[in-house]
Structure 1
Amino acid sequence: MNGFDWSNFAVISLASLLVLALLQAATYLIGRRIRRYNVVDVSWGLGFVLVALIAAVLGEGDGLRRWLIFVLVAIWGLRLTWHMYAKSAGKGEDPRYVAMLERAGGDSPTTVIRKIFATQGLSQWFVSLPLQVSAVVGATSGLGTVVATIGVALWAVGLVFESVGDHQLRQFKADPSNSGKIMDSGLWAWTRHPNYFGDFCVWWGLWLISASVWPGVLTVLSPLAMTYFLVYTTGARLLEKSMSRRPGYPEYQQRTSYFLPRPPKR
């Protein structure tokens, strides 16, 4: 692959694996101490920020693209980290993890590490491959510049959907008169999961920036994996299972798009 530095990529990739392993180990110890493992959600965005920083510092590819990606990932990841911390602080365990560990046969340390923390760390490493590959190749030019610009624009759309959606839901829940009601206004009238749709756009945008230079396009499995997580596993599908039992949610499902935004049905 012309212009691809395999040795530099190996250094970035191994350093990323090591840092993510340390992050997940620390998160596990914190979760064990406070007796809830949903703290792993707080380290999700932070892990990507650390990988982007490693890629920016250790990468020997185009400096402008390396630091652009770091800034974009840092804005997204640090916002998400703070949001997840504020959302879970003082709360009990997330029912998703309770159900997951029950299906796995218990909450022994080995099971918890294998099913939650090791899985998340490996997922972070795989999804972040576009960041790692992009850091070791040369400058973007020609059509690649157009592709990268589209990627930045898509990232911006995703950040708006995710941050605005989270803000609207937080404001809705803060109003006591909305207790027991279903949030169905603002972005939540266009999609039942604006935050997950925002994540989707962010990672496809970052992939486009990486794909603006060969062989970044080959990391397409990373945003596809993130899409699968968001839509079918730990994201929207799992949340729908619990929400569908709430009064008013089936009607909300009928008039509002599942994932991709569209005008609500009357």
Structure 2
Amino acid sequence: MAVYVLDHYYLAITVLVTTAYQLLGFAIAWTFQFDKITDFTGGSNFFILALLTLLIGNEFHARNIVASVLVMAWATRIAGFLLFRVLKTGSDNRFDEIRSNFFKFLGFWIGQIVWVWTVSLPVTILNSPAISDTTRSGSNPAFGTSRDIAGVILWALGWLIETISDAQKFRYKSAKGNPKDKPIQTGLWEWSRHPPYFGEIMCWWGIWILCLPPTTNGSLPSSSKSAQYGAIVSPLFTLILLMFGSGVPTAEKPQAKKFFLMSYGDNAKQEHARAWSNYKEYLRKTSILIPIPPFIYKPLPQILKQTLLLDFPMYRFDEGRDGAAAIEESRKSFV
């Protein structure tokens, strides 16, 4: 029998577990002022929620097992990779400006609570008594419908894209001799400026599709079906977060700033004179998110790139405004 914990959908218990785990991580990171466990705590939290809800839900149908295992596989990969990366680099410069500020640093961890809990909703609800009790008393549709297969394939493609592109970039940055005046343009990075983000978005759309109620199961009450369809907030939140929050916006302008200063900053070197022109050419031929061959993407109209292909004007580094601010900031830091 499923274990009822606070509510029928496991929403409260997963909030409490996530909050406790993240605040413990915050306490350790704040006390010792280091970044070694920050991303690991976020990624591993997904594993904990998937395993916890599967076990206490006590519903081991194929759909529950497959969905939970896929979430745990995604969590293991991302938590392991991010831990390995930070151990190699020693620190994460994303936290340089907030690590010593209690409330700003706490704000990041609170955001991580919201991220983990929201994105985990499809598998949380699938494993909950609201769904399992109905399938136990009624019919349990066989796993393997065309929609199930589509969800698994979408997750698998996303997982491969995310895994391969992360490995390609890490290998590129670790290798000696790569040109410093050009961004990475090898492997999947030749077709997309942010392939790991694209892969992550695909993974969570796949999980949501996999966790939807089978169309042949007429025994589910409308409230349970609504909860499963409502879990679409998971892939939507992932898309919005990566496109407008801690993903693309935090990567695009800082990278543009780096190449601009290589060419025009006070410490610019002659061998990096073409860094900014190289970067602008890279922007023209490389899709921001959806992998597209450069020979197809480059000639496309700018209006199409900035709308349907998501390369919004907000990501652009303005040479006049942003460039002047970057030069002034570099002068102050130099002094």
Please give the TM-score of this superposition, normalised by the length of structure 2. 0.69
Q: Which residue of 2 aligns with 1:199?
A: 200
Q: Which residue of 2 aligns with 1:109?
A: 102
* Mapped contact 2:159–2:203 kept (Cα < 8 A): yes
* Mapped contact 1:129–1:219 kept (Cα < 8 A): yes
| Distance in 2 of aligned mates of 1:34 and 1:203 | 33
| Distance in 1 of aligned mates of 2:5 and 2:72 | 25
| Distance in 2 of aligned mates of 1:140 and 1:41 | 38
Q: Which residue of 2 aligns with 1:127?
A: 119
* Mapped contact 1:255–1:264 kept (Cα < 8 A): yes
| Distance in 2 of aligned mates of 1:50 and 1:7 | 16
Deviation at 1:234, TM superposition (A): 0.5
Identity of aligned residues (%): 27
**Could you report, residue by residue, the CA deviation over 1:142-181 in whole angstroms, capped at 9, with x for unpaired residues?**
8982212111000000011001101111221222011524
Q: Given residue 164 of structure 2, which amino acid in structure 1 is its aligned partner?
A: V
* Mapped contact 2:154–2:203 kept (Cα < 8 A): yes
Greater percentage in helix: 1
Give the gaps of 5 or more residues in structure 1: none
| Distance in 2 of aligned mates of 1:58 and 1:163 | 30
- Taking only aligned residues, the RMSD between alpha carbons, in angstroms, comes to 2.6
Alignment of 1:1-266 (within 5 A): 10=8, 12-37=10-35, 39-61=37-59, 63-89=61-87, 91=89, 93-99=91-97, 101=98, 107-113=100-106, 115-136=107-128, 137=131, 138=135, 141=141, 145-178=145-178, 180=180, 181-213=182-214, 214-215=225-226, 216-245=228-257, 246=259, 247=275, 248-265=278-295
* Mapped contact 2:212–2:229 kept (Cα < 8 A): yes
Aligned length: 256
| Higher RCO (Cα < 8 Å, 6 or more apart) | 1
| Structure-2 change in CA distance of 1:143 and 1:79 (3 Å) | closer
Deviation at 1:38, TM superposition (A): 6.9
Please give the TM-score of this superposition, normalised by the length of structure 1. 0.86
| Structure-2 change in CA distance of 1:143 and 1:27 (3 Å) | closer
| Structure-2 change in CA distance of 1:6 and 1:223 (3 Å) | farther
Deviation at 1:205, TM superposition (A): 0.3
Q: Which residue of 1 aligns with 2:311?
A: none
